[in-house]
Amino acid sequence: MDEYGHFVDWDKMDVSAQSQDTKELTCTDFHELKQLARQGYWAKNHSLRAKVYHKLISNIPCRTVTPDANVYRDIVVKIIGKRNSGSLPLPEFVDNSLIPTYCLNAEGIGAIRKIILCIANQFPDISFCPALPSVIALLLHYSKDEAECFEQVCRILACNDPSKRLIDQTFLAFESSCMTFGDLVNKYCQAAHKLMVAVSEDVLEVYSDWQRWLFGELPMAYIARVFDVFLVEGYKVLYRVALALLKFFHKVRAGQPMESDSIQQDIRAFVRDIAKSVSPERLLEKAFAIRLFSRKEIQLLQMANEKALQQKGITVKQKRQNVHLAVHAENFKSEIVSVKEMRDIWSWIPERFALCQPLLLFTTLEHGCSLSRFYSHSEGHEPTLLLIKTTAEEVCGAYLSTDWSERRRGGNKLSFFGTGECFVFRLQPEVERYEWVIIKHPELASTGSETENHAPPASSTLSSSSVPSDPSDRLSPFLAARHFNLPSKTASMFMAGSSECIIVGGGDGQALYLDADLNHGRTSHCNTFNNQPLCSESFQISILEVWGFRD
What is the full DSSP assignment across 464-507?
GGGS-S--TT---TT-HHHHT---GGGSS-SEEE-SSEEEEE-S
Tell me if 238 sits within 8 A of 131, measured CB to CB.
no
Q: How many residues are recorded in the chain?
A: 551
Burial tier of 5 (Cβ tally within 10 Å: 0-12, 13-18, 19+): middle
Sorted by where each begins, the domain ranges of the chain are: 10-158, 171-311, 339-443+482-550
The pLDDT of residue 524: 67
The pLDDT of residue 15: 64
Predicted TM-score of the model (pTM)? 0.75
Q: What residues pair up with 547 in beta bridges, in sequence order?
A: 360, 385
User: Cβ of 536: how many Cβ atoms within 10 Å?
Assistant: 15
276-307 pLDDT, tens digit each: 999 999 999 999 999 887 888 888 888 888 88
Average pLDDT per block of 10 residues along the chain, 551 residues long: 82 70 72 91 90 94 93 93 78 80 92 94 92 96 96 96 88 92 90 87 88 95 96 94 96 77 91 95 95 84 88 64 57 89 86 86 94 94 94 91 86 76 84 59 38 33 30 37 36 74 68 86 56 74 93 75
The pLDDT of residue 526: 46
The pLDDT of residue 16: 61
The pLDDT of residue 291: 87
The pLDDT of residue 530: 39
The pLDDT of residue 262: 85
128-161 pLDDT, tens digit each: 999 999 999 999 999 999 999 999 999 999 999 8
Tell me if 503 sits within 8 A of 442, measured CB to CB.
yes
The pLDDT of residue 417: 84
How far, in Å, CA of 3 to CA of 388, rounded?
68
Q: How far is the first Cα of the chain from the last one, in angstroms, to the nearest whole number? A: 59
User: Cβ of 485: how many Cβ atoms within 10 Å?
Assistant: 9
Name the average pLDDT for the chain. 81
The pLDDT of residue 505: 72
**Superfamily assignment of 171-311 in CATH?**
Ypt/Rab-GAP domain of gyp1p, domain 3 (1.10.472.80)
